[in-house]
Structure 1
């Protein structure tokens, strides 16, 4: 896939994800573009540094990128990843799911469905 095709696929994925999150969370979701995005996460969800990847193969570097963006912004990391003809999967730090059971951020990661992550995001915001 050429660079432009890859960027276009990524941008389509971001728009798709932003729309789905806005619908499920019932809030306005904005993609970060241009200078607002330089060195930052992809989508603005209050309290979360949202990275999205629309690739066929998952890479650990994607999770590390989400963690780095969360550190920079002081938010919780979440990575949404989707391969073709597959649902979106959310990767989160278990500390953000259960801080009492996992008191140290960055040591354990779990995957969940988009709906489960939206429930988590609503509970954390409450």
Structure 2
């Protein structure tokens, strides 16, 4: 039952990310240890490593370590979680990726964002690193 709950949440997150970013996201069906739960087809998001968790009891430190391990040295760990009964998804990110000037050390501080704020960050900050995007002037 927990596996089905997790898979359903990953599918939901993929749909929400697709709607919020305009980029197709999909659940990685046969993910192995160390793989992101949800991946984008857009190269701008290739470094994003998403870990999804939906649980009755939050285990944020353990989940965050898992997200960091998945991302590795070059990736951007993103933990999208929801506590059963809560409204909306929360997004935990490394503060360094939000503001490297203020938080110069990666992995030292985290920030929890609401869904809308997190999606604004993904839309505005990360795609800007792509050198060419058709249809964008």
TM > 0.5 fold call? yes
Higher helix share: 1
- The residue aligned with 1:91 is 92
SS at match of 1:96: helix
Gaps of 5+ in 2: 129-137
SS at match of 1:52: strand
CA distance in 1, matches of 2:72, 2:97: 14
SS at match of 1:51: strand
- The residue aligned with 2:10 is 14
CA distance in 2, matches of 1:43, 1:104: 26
Tell me how large the CA RMSD over aligned residues is.
Answer: 1.1
CA distance in 2, matches of 1:28, 1:85: 28
* TM-score under structure 2 length normalisation: 0.83
Number of equivalences: 119
Gaps of 5+ in 1: none
1:45-124 equivalence runs, <5 A: 45=40, 46=45, 47-59=47-59, 60-71=61-72, 74-86=74-86, 87-124=88-125
Confirm whether residue 38 of structure 1 aligns to residue 29 of structure 2: no
